[in-house]
Amino acid sequence: MYEELKKASLTLRRDLELLRAAGAAPRLHPNGFIQVDLTVDTRVHVWPKEELPRADPYCPIHDHTYGFSSLVVAGSVRNIDLEPVVHEGGGYRLWEIKQWADERRTPMPVFIDDERYAFRHPSDRRLFAGSMYEMRPFVFHYSDAESGTVTIIRIHPSAPGRTARIAAPLGTEPDSRFERDVTPERQAELWDMIFRTIP
């Protein structure tokens, strides 16, 4: 997988130029970065120097119904794996949420149970340009990238009929109003940010 993603990184600027010319639309992610689909299972994530909108409230702890491989092309990413533990003093509740790709809109979160959760931290690492990491499905994590970071991710087949989960601090609910799709004018601005950021 590393060689495949490394090869994709070598033609990334050209491939993105072709996508832009073909009318492809970048979109915003509620965790504060730009996404572009290279193929049906390969995406580019870009954290530009400019500040981007994020979900409100910001709930970065989540899992995925799919696993993925991620190559850091530029900058660095801190990836923290987390394990939820039922705890009477825990500061989080868990919510189910359908994948955005299934709905093509930010879906409504659904409360999972009445338990309170804390999180263990089995893994916490920072990865730099040229490094790759793997995420298994249904593992909670969050990622913190410095501005100027670019990653390419390859998504592995997802589990049918399952939903992803988000951890929200007590007294809050994950944002269901965040708009990932933007106007053509905003798309042009995002494209400019992308090309100023990628190597």
Query: Rounded to whole angstroms, how far apart are CA atoms 167 and 163?
Result: 13
* Structural domains for the chain: 2-197 (2.60.120.10)
Amino acid at 164: A
Task: Provide the token pair at 156.
Answer: 């592995």
Encode burial over 4-33: b for 16+ CB neighbours within 10 A, e otherwise.
Answer: ebeebbeebeebbeebbeeeebbbbbbbbb
SS3 state at 169: strand
Contact 170, 92 (CB under 8 A): yes
70 contact partners, CB below 8 Å, separation of at least 6: 77, 132, 133, 134, 135, 151, 152, 153, 154
Residue 176's pLDDT is 85
- Compute the mean pLDDT over every residue in the chain, rounded to the nearest whole number: 93
Task: Provide the token pair at 155.
Answer: 């998504």
Give pLDDT tens digits along the chain (199 positions): 989 999 999 999 999 999 999 999 999 999 999 999 999 999 999 999 999 999 999 999 999 999 999 999 999 999 999 999 999 999 999 999 876 555 555 567 888 999 999 999 999 999 999 999 999 999 999 999 999 999 999 999 877 778 899 999 999 999 988 989 999 999 999 999 999 999 9
Task: Provide the token pair at 24.
Answer: 């492809």
The torsion angles phi and psi of 143, rounded to 5 degrees, stand at: -120, 140
Task: Provide the token pair at 188.
Answer: 């042009």
Residue 199's pLDDT is 92
Residue 158's pLDDT is 78
Residue 9's pLDDT is 96
Residue 195's pLDDT is 98
Task: Provide the token pair at 123.
Answer: 């893994």
HSE at residue 71, side-chain half, CA atoms within 13 A, is 18
Tens of pLDDT, residue by residue over 48-84, are 999 999 999 999 999 999 999 999 999 999 999 999 9
Which residues are registered as beta bridge partners of 96? 110, 165
Tens of pLDDT, residue by residue over 110-120, are 889 999 999 99
Contact 97, 107 (CB under 8 A): yes
Query: Rounded to whole angstroms, how far apart are CA atoms 123 and 127?
Result: 12
